[in-house]
């Protein structure tokens, strides 16, 4: 996966990924065809995508179907990156984002 500059920033030498980057990493895990990821990782990625897009839709994001298609077919495109950023902005902040991750079974503070 190539990391688009819109997906991360470096603060005091430490790299941080934004919500759109998390969404796109999950899509890469789910749709990668190189056998690199175990089935459990693919299932967790699907749960993450579902939870994040559900939260985005609840926040008013209306292009979920388009984004889901892009995530499966053209996730490295500028359009996929931009729509992912818009979708994650619709979630409504860090707490809502972390709650969506928790619903997917992801510990947003680290760990399994």
111 found inside a domain? no
pLDDT tens string, the chain, 112 residues long: the values are: 567 899 998 999 999 999 999 999 999 999 988 888 999 999 999 999 999 999 999 999 999 999 999 999 999 899 999 999 999 999 999 999 999 999 999 887 765 5
Q: Based on the structure, what is the number of domains in the chain?
A: 1
Q: Tell me how far apart the alpha carbons of residues 27 and 22 are, in angstroms, rounded to a whole number.
A: 9
Q: Angle CA(75)–CA(35)–CA(4) in degrees, nearest 5?
A: 25
pLDDT digits (tens, 9 = 90+) for 47-73: 999 999 999 999 999 999 999 999 999
Full residue range of the structural domain in which residue 17 is found: 5-103
How much is the pTM?
0.90
67 found inside a domain? yes
Quote the pLDDT of residue 1. Answer: 59
Quote the pLDDT of residue 68. Answer: 96
């Amino acid at each position: 996966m190539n990391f688009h500059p819109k997906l991360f920033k470096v603060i005091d030498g430490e790299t941080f990924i934004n919500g759109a980057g998390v969404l796109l990493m999950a899509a890469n895990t789910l749709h990668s065809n190189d056998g690199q990821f175990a089935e459990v990782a693919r299932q967790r990625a699907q749960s993450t995508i579902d939870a994040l897009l559900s939260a985005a839709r609840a926040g008013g994001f209306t292009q979920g179907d388009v984004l889901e298609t892009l995530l499966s077919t053209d996730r490295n495109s500028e359009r996929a990156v931009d729509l992912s950023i818009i979708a994650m902005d619709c979630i409504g902040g860090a707490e809502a984002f972390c709650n969506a991750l928790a619903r997917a079974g992801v510990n947003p503070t680290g760990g399994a």
